Amino acid sequence: MAILPLLIVLLLGITTLMIDSARLLSLRSEMQSQANAAATAAADQARACSGPDASFLLMQNKALGAAQALGFSGDSSELNVQPGLVRPGVGETDRLVFIEKDPASELDQTNAARVTYTRSERLSFLLPEALFEPVQLSVSAVARKEVVATVSAAGSTATVQNGLLGNLLGVVLGNPGYSLDATSLNSLSNTLLGVGDLLAALGVDTVVEMTNLPLSEVLEAVTGLVGGVASPLGAVVDDLVGAVGVDELNAGAVFQVVGGAQVPADTNFPVYDFVTSVVLNSVKALNESTAGLASVTLDSDNSPVIGTLMDSLVQPLLGDIDLTLGLWVDEPPKIVIGPARMDANGEPLTTVASADIRLATDIGIQLATSEITGLLSALTLGIVDIDLLEDIRVPLAVAVGGGEARLIGADCARGNDNTASFDFETQSSVADIQTGYLDTSSGVVEPADIEADLLKLRLSLLNIIDILNVGVCLNAGLQVELPKAETFTRLESYDLYCPDGQCESVLLSGSSDAPLQGLDVSLGPVSLECDSDSGVLGTLKKPSEALVNGLLPPITGLVEVVTRQVLGSVVSPLLSGLGADLGGMSVKVLSASQAGAQLVREGP
């Protein structure tokens, strides 16, 4: 019978331990819930979600407030808040790791927070505290929150009209007669492609994996997703598989994922931006081959561009215009996907650059025979023979590049508000326009003046002795000035949810949809003199000089007006459509996705 009391004591002890264990487990669960709430609130104040206003003090206060809302009543020192960065492990895209960041110097790199909650608790309220020391209960939670933007500077179809893009496609496809009608052009711009659908078609899990695939495979997958080769849009994309240099490129030439961003499956991008990048990558390959410049010749017989240009010019001395464009690409634009935070050097991770392009623009200006002869006949009383010799050729070398848009901040969607805001710092492209040619093997600008033998004025005696023999030759330089500026652009209220499943892309900045602002074209110094015999009658030398000088204002005005109109109506829209804006910097937010605050499980 002596064993019975011992069994009773043992049973009471076990019961006490079970009760205390349940209490401690319940307490630990409560602590974990409070830590989860605190980490979620703290992550909302990381740089990726609160922009340049990110504050460690505010992060701590938000964490404390969230924990208190769930019953936390301890001292704030019991909550340790650590800002940090959550990203995929190196070589392990399916495992996330938390990297601590110094709140004083590295807060700009953060997209997450870890909260550790530690408190001392009695082991048992039934057993003597003197015999059983309190235990330390500790829980931790890591939460990540950031919005991922898909950004492009690949231009817009709104600026590319009258078949210019089709002409360029024909060059890289080796098909000079290639055309792209307005319907196909609009389809390129209006058709959005889902990243999830593209990854599924390619059989890969992430965009990072996709960037390592051959570009030709991605083109084939896109062709299938937009209707196949039987559809007009699918046919355009399929044609690019055979473009110059495509077989040597990976998809990383078109897509770039920065900052370890996890790209949601519902991310979309316009097919136009994809096609533009592929085309310019192909042009770059063409430039690096023996073919040199990608050249397109336009005249009034084969191009509506010239017809539209002629209709816009009211110049009595203008007969016709032809235009030869030679394209050299140093850096094609990319579709960039990334968050709004900084790298270790304090630079924005998500930066989209404009295309770096040089364009040889050879403008042929044909004088109107009837108008020029009528003008000179009136001045010479019809006794002077007038011969038109050459068209005026204006060789322009247009170099555009260096434009970029940097995503410096974002305000994530919160609560019932389903919109995010983005802050961009944009640097206009640097445009250098001068008279000259592009070396076809290097793309280097070779300066040159405008030179042309325009007219021959002759007055002879019995068609034997020249009394007057004067040539009119144009020799001139050309100065083109175009201002640029740095700007700050804020995109307010970008919808993260769209009822039809495809949110519209938003153009943040860009000036080439409208006439170029501040464009100034001036010809000078100008000379119309030629090395020619003035005739046997020296007394006619002064009148002949006066006659030639009388042509100076109308010819100078004609060249300036035509050059300005070509730059504004043809060159600028073409470059803007290819992602190299003469008038500034065009950047589009194609898509934005935010998964909400994510609690992250640390460790394997």
DSSP annotation string for 549-578: HHHHHHHHHHHHHHHHHHIIIIIHHHHHHT
- The token pair at 31 is 């602590």
Residue 475 domain flag:
no
Report the pLDDT value the prediction gives residue 130, as an integer from 0 to 100: 63
360 sits in the region (left: phi over 0; alpha: psi -120 to 50; else beta) called beta
Output the pLDDT for position 456. 77
The torsion angles phi and psi of 222, rounded to 5 degrees, stand at -65, -40
Do 105 and 179 lie in one domain? The reply is: no
Q: Are residues 272 and 342 in the same domain?
A: yes
Contact yes or no for 356/315 (Cβ under 8 A)? no
CA–CA distance, 602 with 39 (Å, rounded to integer): 13
Nearest to 422 by CA among 431, 430, 414, 412: 412
Residue 199 and residue 66 share a domain: no
In a domain, 376, yes or no: no
Amino acid at 26: S
In this structure, of 298-302, 487-491, 546-550, the range with the lowest mean pLDDT score is: 487-491
- Asked if residue 595 lies in contact with residue 48, where contact means CB atoms within 8 angstroms, the answer is no
* Residue ending a domain, choose from 118, 145, 172: 145
Residue with tokens 């300036």: 560
Average pLDDT for the chain:
81
Residue 500 has pLDDT above 60, yes or no: no
Mean pLDDT, range 97-103, rounded to an integer: 92
pLDDT at 111: 92
Q: Is residue 539 part of a domain?
A: no
pLDDT-derived band at 540, boundaries 50, 70, 90: very low
Contact 245/285 with Cβ under 8 angstroms?
A: yes
Confidence at 512, pLDDT banded by 50, 70, 90? very low
* Claim to verify: residue 250 and residue 113 sit in the same structural domain: no
Q: Could you give the C-alpha distances from 493 to 41, 52, 415, 504, 593, in angstroms and in order?
A: 21, 18, 14, 12, 13
- CA pseudo-torsion sign 120, 124, 128, 131: negative
Q: Which helix (H) or strand (E) holds 385?
A: strand 385-388
Judged against a pLDDT cut of 60, whether residue 489 lies above it is answered with yes
Report pLDDT digits (tens) over 106-160.
999 999 999 999 988 877 666 666 666 778 888 999 999 998 989 888 776 655 5
Question: DSSP for 232-286?
Answer: HHHHHHHHGGGSTTGGG-BGGGTEEE-TT----TT-EEEHHHHHHHHHHHHHHHH
Residue, of 591 and 36, whose pLDDT is higher: 36
Percent of the chain's residues with pLDDT above 90: 25
Query: Which tokens sit at 161?
Result: 């009209």
What is the pLDDT, as a whole number, of residue 478?
86
Same domain, 232 and 260: yes
Choose one of 145, 177, 195: the last residue of a domain: 145
Residue 460 lies in a domain: no
Which of 145, 167, 187 represents a domain boundary (last residue)?
Answer: 145
Mean pLDDT for 499-526 is 64
Q: What pLDDT sits at residue 568?
A: 84
10-15-19 Cα angle (round to 5):
150
Domain containing 237 equals: 156-367+390-449+483-518+562-600
Q: How many domains does the chain have?
A: 2
- 35 and 58 housed in the same domain: yes
Give residue 575's pLDDT. 83
Q: Is the pLDDT of residue 603 over 50?
A: no
Tell me if 39 sits within 8 A of 80, measured CB to CB: no
pLDDT of residue 511: 46
Residue 537 confidence (pLDDT): 44
pLDDT tens digits for 50-99?
888 889 999 999 999 999 999 998 888 889 999 999 888 776 666 788 99
Whether 121 and 222 map to the same domain: the answer is no
Q: Which residues contact 2 (CB under 8 A, 6 or more apart)?
A: none
| Residue spans of beta strands (DSSP E) within 402-482 | 404-411, 419-427, 430-438, 445-447, 450-461, 465-481
List the single range of 274-283, 284-293, 544-553 with lowest mean pLDDT: 544-553
Do 130 and 182 lie in one domain? The reply is no
Q: With respect to residue 545, please indicate whether it lies within any of the assigned structural domains.
A: no
Residue 555 clears pLDDT 90, i.e. is over it: no
* Amino acid, res. 99: I
Distance between CA 471 and CA 453 in Å, rounded?
A: 7
- Could you tell me if residue 180 is inside a domain? yes
**Has residue 100 been placed in a domain?**
yes
Question: For residue 218, what pLDDT is reported?
Answer: 95
**Contact between 187 and 233 (Cβ < 8 Å):** yes
Give yes or no: residues 582 and 488 share one domain. yes
pLDDT in tens, 376-411: 666 666 666 777 778 889 999 998 887 888 899 888
- Which has the minimum average pLDDT: 21-25, 283-287, 327-331, 430-434? 21-25
Q: 61-96 in b/e burial notation, b at 16+ Cβ within 10 A?
A: bbbbebbbeeebebeeebbbbbbbbbbbeeeeeeeb
* Domain assignment of residue 570, yes or no: yes
How many other β-carbons are positioned within 10 Å of the β-carbon of residue 403? 27
Q: Give me the mean pLDDT over the 454-479 stretch.
A: 72
The pLDDT assigned to 539 comes to: 43
Same domain, 208 and 137: no
How much of the chain, in percent, has pLDDT values that exceed 70?
A: 79
Rounded to whole angstroms, the Cα distance separating 86 from 18 reads 38
Residue 278 — pLDDT band, cuts 50, 70, 90? Answer: very high
Give the 3-state secondary structure of residue 66: helix
Same domain flag for 130 and 171:
no
Question: Do 119 and 174 reside in the same domain of the chain?
Answer: no
